[in-house]
Amino acid sequence: MQVAGQKMQAWLNRLIGSEKQNLGLRAYLERIPRVSDLTDVPSGTVVLVRGDLDAKPGAKLGEGDIRLRSMKETLQIGRDRGWIQVIFGHIGRDPQLSLEKVGKRLSEIMGCPVRLISDWFDHATETILPEVKAVLAEAKPGDLILLENTRKYDMERILWKAKAADIPKLADRLAKIANEFSSKIGTVYVHEAFSAGSLDTSSVVVPAAMDKVALGEYSYGEFAGPLTVCLNAQLVISSGLKIDKLDDLEAMINRGRIRWVFSAGSLAVGLIKAAAQLEGRDFCIGVAEDPAHADKPYYIPQDRIDQAKRILADGKAKGIQFVMPVDFVLQDGRVSTTIGPGEQQLDVGPATVELFEQKIGEFIEWAKRLNEPAVAFHNGVFGKFEESQFEGGTRRFMKQLKRLKDAGVQVFVGGGEGGKALEKYGDSAWGVYNFTAGGTVLNALGSDPVPFLVALELAAQ
């Protein structure tokens, strides 16, 4: 199917423009087919598979390849049906990185050859090279073909910094790229890259020119299973460097299920300053409020403080308990109950850890009175935990996840750094479920829709 520039413009408006909206996770799942639903796609059909290829395979099978292994069921369905599957996606952000090792590990996982096409797109003309057609002409039913790192090419990153005002000038260019895929590779598209939450062309533009689209079995299972359970979480433990997590927290609170919020990091200092202003006083948050640091990810402008005030007021009206730090480990290693001008908090202090432990106990007692299973969602780390002097808060709190689970609470860990910290300081078994992609999870639970779900829903309709 060929897509015109005008249709692409409407498509982009739904992704990043004036028509952007979040239909809700359940609605997306109802409207997007699963790969197992594509029963009418005949043997020999070329099927594009947007794969979760951002992995660093270790020395042996099972090391550093969890994302690759997550694709196995979907790829095996395609092989059993005789499809010629062309797998594509990225590794890291460096355009020079190669998928060569990923292809070899994928071959081990699938028990069959995976042919890598190292150069498949022309920068200058933005067209797919003839080599791809030649490889496809030789392919047999069940074959797996891997395209080199999509981020090797500028076309993959066109929408990364795009704004709504850029849509008219980008529409024709992106329509042409999408049409290249449909005319020179195939018109059936499967998305099996759960962690691919960015506005990559391969994830959110290519589906526009497809005749059929589907969500991979692993991705569908993540959304329909553990993520759907997380929609009912009564306890959220959220922390991190970027204040935009306020958007996700606000959306989760608006859902009406949350009754306890634990916070740390930039999210916490934003809430602490907001709480002080609601009481008619102020609380200095150091470099996080200094305009000279406005280009840094930890900077918190006043409009975010105003948002935090709104969240606190709304939350308290709903009976939500907000548990926030009472002391901090500053950049020089000192523990302080205040943050002075020019200072930065890089971990929570010991008094905060004790407070959190006390409040976890109160939550457990509260949860015993529920007539439904208690659910806790943990995302992020409490400080710059990769440095030993700022790891204390995160390290000590990990034991509370085990405490919650032992008390019968369903604990879900939202991937990314939170998952790494659990492995480093505890045991992955302390969570009922550990997601492999923190960003996608926050999108699904928060205010912004997951971009690839928007694209798949549009294509399916």
326-355 pLDDT, tens digit each: 999 999 999 999 999 999 999 999 999 999
The CB density around residue 116, as the number of other CB atoms within 10 Å, is 19
Tell me the three state secondary structure of residue 62.
Answer: coil
CA 444 to the chain's CA centroid: 8
- Asked if residue 446 has pLDDT above 80, the reply is no
Domain ranges of the chain: 5-223+449-460, 231-430
Residues in contact with 118: Cβ distance below 8 Å, sequence separation at least 6, in sequence order? 98, 100, 148
d(CA 119, CA 101): 16
Pick the CATH number of 5-223+449-460 from 1.10.1060.10, 3.10.20.310, 3.40.50.1260, 3.30.420.10: 3.40.50.1260
- How many CA within 13 A on the CB side of residue 318? 20
pTM reported for the whole predicted model? 0.85
Give the tokens for residue 173: 């260019």
Q: Read off the pLDDT of residues 402-443 as tens digits, 9 standing for 90 and up.
A: 999 999 999 999 767 788 888 888 888 888 888 877 777 877
CA 375 to the chain's CA centroid: 20
Sheet strands (E) in 73-178: 84-88, 114-117, 121-122, 127-128, 144-147
Q: Read off the pLDDT of residues 348-394 as tens digits, 9 standing for 90 and up.
A: 999 999 999 999 999 999 999 998 889 999 988 898 888 999 999 99
d(CA 192, CA 68): 10
CATH no. of 231-430 = 3.40.50.1260
- Asked if residue 160 has pLDDT above 90, the reply is yes
- Tell me if 401 sits within 8 A of 430, measured CB to CB: yes
Task: Report residue 252's pLDDT band, with 50, 70 and 90 as the boundaries.
Answer: confident
Tell me whether the CATH fold assigned to 5-223+449-460 matches the one assigned to 231-430.
yes
In terms of Cα–Cα distance, which of 92, 202, 98 is closest to 158?
A: 202
The residue written with tokens 């594009």 in the block is 48
Looking at the chain, the whole-number percentage of residues with pLDDT higher than 70 is: 99
Crossing angle of helices 5-15/451-460, nearest 10°? 140
Q: Note the pLDDT of residue 442.
A: 75
